[in-house]
Structure formats: structure tokens, C-alpha cells
Structure 1
Amino acid sequence: MIRIRRAKRDDASAIGRVHVETWQAAYAGLLPDAMLVGMSDVRQSAWWSRVLSDPGEARGVFVADDEDMGVVGFGSCGPARDLPEGLDGREVRVGEVYTLYVEPDFQNRGLGRRLLDALFRQLKAERCDTAILWMLAENPTRFFYEGLGGERVGERIDTLSGVDVEEIAYAWRSLTVPLVRRRLAAED
């Protein structure tokens, strides 16, 4: 049984581990090898511990918690930091999904969709009308977001470990319909 719940401070080490493992699996060949090899569970855990110590930031972090394995996925959200050019933040309040990662052995079980739904519910509770998510343009996970109704709304170049990478933004302009229902409706 895997449940989606709000993260607690003592989840920081598990989130840090999942963060490193999923980055190394998902971004091999997309990001510099030296960057991925140099990632540290200890540094990521310390960073997540700081995030989860701040009540304002912690309320936007959720985990997928397997009763046997512990934390196997996580996601975080909050106010939008960088709006794509095609999205006007003056007309609607925009939130952002900052992270969404599920361990490879637990993918394709609906956990990503459930985590994203929890993040969208949190953004809606914070009075957001729209959500955006930035990701590497070459990441095949983009098809997951497209399948859940994400609309490609922007692109940018970011620099990670001295390498320029293309990123794309997806937006969901309505947070009122749960993602699970959108997915089921799309499959009919």
C-alpha cells in the first residue's frame, strides 16, 4: 500500500536519496556525467531538511510512502518563480510544480499522477488558478505531462554545471478537475 501524504522533517534523508537516484537515472545522457556522479545524498538531504524546517515551504512538499519501502517518490510546489512569456501572471494566480520524482522501480503505478494531483490541490488551496512546470526539453517524461493535459507554453535556456540546456514549460490552466479524472476521461 502506497499513500500520498504531506512530507515531514524526518523524511528529508529519504527525499534526498530519491532525489539523487532519480536524477541519476532520468538525466543520464541529458546532463553532464560529472554533475550526476557528484550528486550527494547527504547534501540533498541537508537541503531538504532546511526546506522541511520552514513551515511555509514544507506545506508544499508531498511524498509517496510505501508501507514496506518508505518514501519512493516526492514532489514540491509553491508560487511560480519564472513565468513563460506566453503566460500572464497578472490575470491569473500561477503556482509552480518545482519537483516531481518517483523511483524507477515504482514508476508506471500511478504515483506520479497522484503526487501531481496532491500538488495541484495544494496550489488550489493557496488560491492558484494555473500551474506551470519547467523540465528538460529532452526528458521523455514530457509525454507523461502531456497525457495529463499539460499544455506546452514556453521554453528557455538554463545553465547547469556550465552546460546550457533547453527547458520547456507546461501549464495547466485549470486546477479544478482532479488529474485522475482527466486521465480517465482522456482514455475513454
Structure 2
Amino acid sequence: MLTLRSAGPQDAEPIARVYVDAWRSAYPGVVPNEVLVRMSVGAQARQWAFVLRQRGGPQAVIVAEDPEAGIIGMGSCGEVRTTGLPQSGEVYTLYVAPGFEGNGIGSALLLGLFNVLADRGLNSALVWVLGGNPARFFYEAMGGRRVAVRAETLWNKELMQVAYGWDDVRSLPRLGDVRVK
């Protein structure tokens, strides 16, 4: 039985592992290979530990936990960081460990993040996705509509990003079925 819960400092390393493994699985050919090679669970764990020590801070982090496999997905959210768009909340990250995709974990995490945003009074949301990321179709399937496109130079490479938005996260059909402990 999958459990969604708020992450704590003890979760930094498993979150980092999901994050690094998901990047290495999703982004070959999308971001420069040296970026993927240089990623390390240790460095990511330190970054996530810093975020997770700020309980009640601006960024909420949740995990999807399987009783046998442990943490197999993670996501984070908070106030929107992009000006000029009407959305009030933003999904910053959402990753499912390779091998666990296609089982509804991403959907549960997204709905859980929307619940967190709604609980904070942020009733609309967006997520920025790299244009070459096949996961962008997931956001479309979850009811997101394209609200913006931007080019950003990252790692000396211009990358296209697409924002998907939801006007009212409280109105999504299965939102009430997903609770974060």
C-alpha cells in the first residue's frame, strides 16, 4: 500500500537517490551528459537535507513510500516563482524512481502536492517542464494546459521549458482521495 507523507530530514538520502536516478533516466539527450554524470546522491542529499530542516518553510516536500521498496517518489511545491502568470502555487519537483513509473505514483504525488498547495491557500498551480521531457504528456493527461513557454540557458545550452497550469486545483476529480500524512 503506497503512503504519501511529508518528508523529514531523515528522508534526504532516499529523496536524493530518487532524484538522481530519475534525472539520469529521463534526461539523456535533453541535458548535457556531463551534468548527469556529475550528479551525486551525496551532493543532492545535502541540498535536500537543508530544505527539509526548514520545517514550515516556503517549500513543502512529500514522498511516496512503498512498504517494501521504501521511498519511490518525491515532489516539492510552494508559491509560484514566475512573475507575470496568474497561478499562485508551483510544483517545483516531481520524480518517480525508474522502474516504478506507470503505476499511478506520479498521479498520486501530483494530487498530493495540489492538496498541500490548497491547504496553504494556493488554489491554482503550474509546473515547468523541460520541452524534451516525455513527462510533459503526463501533465497534459492530468489536466494541465500550456500556459507559458520560455528558453533558458542552463549548462551553456539553451533549453526550452513549458509551463502547464491548473486554474483550480481544488476542483480536480480525485483530489479528495489523496491525503498527505
Q: What runs of 5+ residues in structure 2 fail to find an aligned partner?
A: 176-181
CA offsets, 1:32-80, max 9 Å, x none? 0001000010000000000000012386110010111111110000010
Q: CA RMSD in A?
A: 1.5
1:88 counterpart (86, 94, 103): 86
Amino acid at match of 1:137: G
1:145 aligns with 2:143: no
Distance 1:178 1:120 in 2: 9
Per-residue deviation, 1:153: 0.5
1:110 maps to 104
Aligned-residue sequence identity (percent) comes to 41
Distance 2:51 2:164 in 1: 24
Task: Compute the TM-score of the two structures, normalised by the length of structure 2.
Answer: 0.92
2:103 is paired with a residue whose SS is coil
Q: What runs of 5+ residues in structure 1 fail to find an aligned partner?
A: 182-188
The answer (yes or no) to whether the contact 1:4–1:62 under 8 Å persists in 2 is yes
Task: Compute the TM-score of the two structures, normalised by the length of structure 1.
Answer: 0.88
CA pair 43-109 structure 1, distance change in 2 beyond 3 A: same
1:7 maps to 7
Aligned pairs, number: 175
2:61 maps to 61
CA pair 43-19 structure 1, distance change in 2 beyond 3 A: same
1:165 maps to 159
- The structure carrying a bigger helix percent of its residues is 1
